[in-house]
Copies of this chain bind each other. A is one copy, B any other.
Amino acid sequence: MSGYNVAPLENLVEQFERMPGIGNKTAQRLAYYVLNLSKTEAEQLAGAVMDAHTKIHYCSKCCNLTDKDLCPVCANPARNHSVICVVETPRDATAIENTHEFKGVYHVLHGSISPLNGIGPDNLTIKELLSRLNEESVEEVIMATNPTVEGDATALYISKLLKPLGVKVTRLAYGIPVGGDLEYADEYTLAKALEGRNEI
């Protein structure tokens, strides 16, 4: 836009461009969308951005995101508080929640151990997980970290910390995804699926 600069518009395009997966063309489309909003709608959008920032914090128990003291899962007495599913991010917890299969509670690590990126165990909420295990009677901890090198390392690290406490530690099953195609499954996944085969 050389020679054709409308500062507030350029600024908004730049803000959108910083977002993940948003390129210049999409950022422009979004900026023009904002321009076409009514004043109230623009205020709602700006307000939602600030609200998300000021009102949302970590649940005092599971470190998931919430706008209250406890997140809805931790505050729900109908959930099984003796089974804790450890996930890397709040979005992973949402993904598991969407299966409607898990009735326990969560613990959100907010990352995985990744020395290359300078993230060690102290940067995660492992301390909070340990104090939870000391305070409550927990039967099982399900490690639902991502099936990546970092996720596996994190799962292994935490399981070694928890074993002495006498708590059962499990890991999500590796295998071929439902609806997938054997032909296109990578060797590593297929080997894990073979290894973990069940009797039918």
Contacts and interface: CB of A to CB of B under 8 A. Distances in A.
A72 to B, nearest CB: 5
14 contacts: A1-B97, A2-B97, A3-B73, A6-B66, A6-B71, A6-B72, A7-B55, A7-B67, A8-B51, A21-B26, A35-B52, A35-B65, A42-B52, A49-B49
Copies, count: 2
B6 A65 contact: yes
Interface residues of A, number: 57
Interface string A130-165: 000000000000000000000000000000000000
Interface of A: 1-9, 11-12, 14-15, 19-22, 26, 28-35, 37, 39, 42-53, 55-56, 65-67, 71-73, 76, 89-91, 93-94, 97-98, 100
Contacts of A55: 7-8
Interface of A is mostly: helix
A37 B71 CA distance: 21
Contacts of A93: 4
